[in-house]
Amino acid sequence: MSPLRHKLLRDIRTQRAQFTAVIITIFLGVTMFAASYDSYQNLTASYESTFTEFRFANVTVAGGDVTEFATAAAARPGVASVQLRTVADLPIRVGDLKLLGRVVGLPADDQPSVNQVRVADGAYLSSTTPDAALVEEHMANHFELAPGTSFEVLGAAGWQTVTVGGVGSSPEYIWPARDRQALLTSPDNFGVAFVPENLARQLAGTTGPSEAVIYFTDGAENDELAEALLADAAERGATISFTRADQPSNTALSEDLKGFEELAVFFPMLFLTAAALATYVMISRLVHAQQPHIGVLLANGFTRRQVLGHYLGYGVVPGLAGALPGAVAGVLLARVITGFYTSMLSVPVTLVQFYPATLLAGVAFGLVTSVLAALAPAL
């Protein structure tokens, strides 16, 4: 072992408390970065996969002559599917509690071509049970509604009992937002129930659909096509029309993802800044106390570059010791966070992937932070 390396290890043992504190701080900073950034990437991938697998609408139009609009939209190049349905916001009563509910009409026996649902419990809608509903998972969990239970809906003919045939989740209500003005709603105030289209029209007191949802080829975004559809909808008297980006639930999810992305930078930077300051102070004191040693090293033939590299080692060692396990721990923690988050939001598809770039970036951040902090006093 070279004399400088022996001296490095001896000094680290002598000041192990200070070095341990720096290592722990770097470990926490890198762990938070890897966990939050990988969670952000996993959630983004999970949402995108859900949107594709369950054919989340690229454009939604309500009001006006939606039947005529749907016919015209289906003929446009780039449009894969158009689904007509009845959607009505009606009072719902679960036990003694009343809330504003949303009834969404779906085809009985078959999934819709747009905005499909995942059945988590029970069965999908059936023509043999025309008064059964598929309750959205957030509402079902909050009110403990399971297959075989029931709730009431205030329709055009008065209160009507609806049996719960199943519990499901939808890309439309990953975040159960009523509209863009009420993105944050309590389950006590808003819930969604998917019912056969005929029952939806009966409850709403209408004879035809009230909404059209359009899915583009492969679900890909197409701004030009979306603008043309929105303009056509406006000409046909639509009262509400929006793209996937402006859909209430997706808007809330996008804001939430931005928060994850910012968290992946802000909080780790706090820890890494603290680690850099601690490293700087520790090595500054070490260099000041070892001025005579430095003179002896130079007098014995060591070059200034060798001495500089030696004192940079006081940054490299805690940087690697904290960053390597921190990056691994963060990647593993991201899997737990992703699973917990998608379960809490009832996301139909959960994707957990390994991102080598996150691992490398975490190690690089931790190492660069400590080395830069050691550079100034080492010079």
pLDDT tens string, the chain, 379 residues long: the values are 577 676 667 767 777 788 888 888 889 889 989 999 999 999 999 999 999 999 999 999 999 999 999 999 999 999 999 999 999 999 999 999 999 999 999 999 999 999 999 999 999 999 999 999 999 999 999 999 999 999 999 999 999 999 999 999 999 999 998 888 877 788 889 999 999 999 999 999 999 999 999 999 999 999 999 999 999 999 999 999 999 999 999 999 998 888 878 877 787 888 888 877 877 777 777 766 766 766 666 666 667 777 666 667 777 888 898 999 999 999 999 999 999 989 888 888 999 999 999 999 889 888 888 888 777 665 5
CA angle 218, 222, 228 (to 5 degrees): 125
Token representation of residue 54? 């369950």
Three-state SS annotation for 137-153: HHHHHHHCCCCCCEEEE
80: nearest Cα among 108, 114, 116, 117: 114
Token representation of residue 266? 């802000």
> Which residue in the block uniquely carries the two structure tokens 């009343």?
98
Beta strand residue intervals within 204-319, DSSP E: 211-216, 240-243
Token representation of residue 235? 């000409």
pLDDT of 146 reads 96
Q: How many helices (H) and strands (E) does the chain have?
A: 10, 11
pLDDT of 74 reads 96
How far does Cα 297 stand from its chain's mean position? 55
pLDDT of 366 reads 86
Q: How many residues does the chain have?
A: 379
Cα dihedral 325, 328, 331, 337, rounded to 10, equals -50
349 in helix, strand or coil?
coil
CA dist., res. 121 & res. 54, Å (int):
17
CA dist., res. 228 & res. 90, Å (int):
32
Q: How far is CA 213 from CA 70, 115, 323, 335, in A?
A: 8, 8, 48, 34
CA dist., res. 313 & res. 321, Å (int):
12
Residues 6+ apart with CB under 8 A from 209: 66, 67, 84, 85, 86, 105, 197, 201
pLDDT of 288 reads 66
pLDDT of 294 reads 61
Contact 199, 130 (CB under 8 A): yes
